[in-house]
A and B are shown apart, each in its own frame.
Chain A
Amino acid sequence: MSASHQAPPAAASEPAPVERRALALRDALVDRGLVEAGEAEALAHRAVQELSPANGARVVARAWVDPDFRQRLLANATAAAKELGIEGIEGRQMVALENTATTHNVIVCTQCSCTAWPLLGLPPDWYKAPSYRARVVREARALLAEMGLQLPAATNIPRLGYQRRDAIFRVADATSGDRAFHGRTTRQSCYSRCTDRGCSH
């Protein structure tokens, strides 16, 4: 029988949507006892609900109204965040950098995707993109302008390069940074160190 007489196999021509494939994989893993029932749902809940940039916003807002907390945050961000119940992997050694009227920080990990999960959530695609990682250490001011943040010419832009490091555009986002910036309020940026787990990813 020649191939031209065969109808194309429907299953192969049109893969199921990724959601259905993921659920099928989950069910197969549960059926074989490789993961517990509910484990995948718990992980998804943590990724979407618990690892949220709203945590970072809460920490920064506390620092705005509590000078003692602000000092503790700048001295040891990991311990200060823990005071608010915020901690976990990719956040075992976090550092806060403070934006001022003349200095703006922005975070990047030029080597990978390191960021402080407990405070900022999982890194978004743009943060992991080679173009962002390459350009922010080279021309931060122009890149931030393209992303919608125009900084006054007098503003310095330190960047925590490499690893995780680097600073703060994300936190500004997460904490209504534009409003904070124009209001000249104190803002912090937080990052988690690659050495947290040896940056094995």
Chain B
Amino acid sequence: VAELPVLQTEHSEAPEARFSPGDAVRVIAKATPGHTRCPAYIRGKVGLIRLVYPLAYYPELRAHSTVKRREHSYAVEFAAAHLWNKGDPSQTVLVELFESYLEAQ
């Protein structure tokens, strides 16, 4: 098996979601190697929390290490005009993102 990076050491699961619906968040700009579920096209972009999901296994750790850690994930809504040149002003993109991908805006 090829050597795969262990991206993060284990820490305890936070029982409470850090963000609530309506909160503005910015997606971390740094690209994470490996099996990330954070798409490139929203890195560094600002969106609004719409839905909060229950704890689920953080995919990078699950894919590349034996550590299993759960965290909250969210549906975050972005304006297409904020994501793309000449983006449709009537279009938004709702993206499911883990808490580790987000920082408070």
Whether a CB of chain A sits under 8 angstroms from the CB of B63 is yes
A161–B94 CB distance below 8 A: yes
Q: Does A194 contact B37, Cβ atoms closer than 8 Å?
A: yes
Which residues of chain B are near A193, meaning CB under 8 Å? Answer: 53, 56, 73, 96
With A138-B84, A160-B75, A163-B96 in contact, do A198 and B63 touch (Cβ < 8 Å)? yes
Is B6's CB within 8 Å of the partner chain A? no
Binding site secondary structure of chain A? loop
**What's the nearest-Cβ distance from chain A to residue B67, in Å?**
13
Query: Which residues of A157-201 are within 8 A (CB) of B?
Result: 157-167, 193-195, 198-200
> Is A141 in the interface zone, CB < 8 Å from B?
yes
User: Once the chains are docked, how many angstroms separate the CA of A86 from the CA of B56?
Assistant: 22
CA distance A199 to B57 in the complex (A): 10
**Residue B24 CB within 8 A of the other chain:** no
Q: Give the number of chain B interface residues (Cβ < 8 Å).
A: 30
A163 contacts across to B, CB distance below 8 A: 37, 95-96
B63 to chain A, nearest CB (A): 7
Task: Using A161-B39, A162-B96, A164-B96 as known contacts, say yes or no to A140 and B88 having CB atoms under 8 A apart.
Answer: yes
Check if B93 sits within 8 Å of A198, measured CB to CB.
no
Q: A138-B80, A162-B42 are in contact. List 18 more A-B contacts (CB 8 A).
A: A137-B83, A138-B83, A140-B88, A141-B91, A157-B88, A157-B92, A158-B77, A158-B91, A158-B94, A161-B93, A163-B96, A164-B96, A194-B59, A195-B73, A198-B62, A200-B35, A200-B59, A200-B62
Cβ of B28 within 8 Å of any chain A Cβ, yes or no, is no
> Do B59 and A162 touch (CB < 8 A)?
no
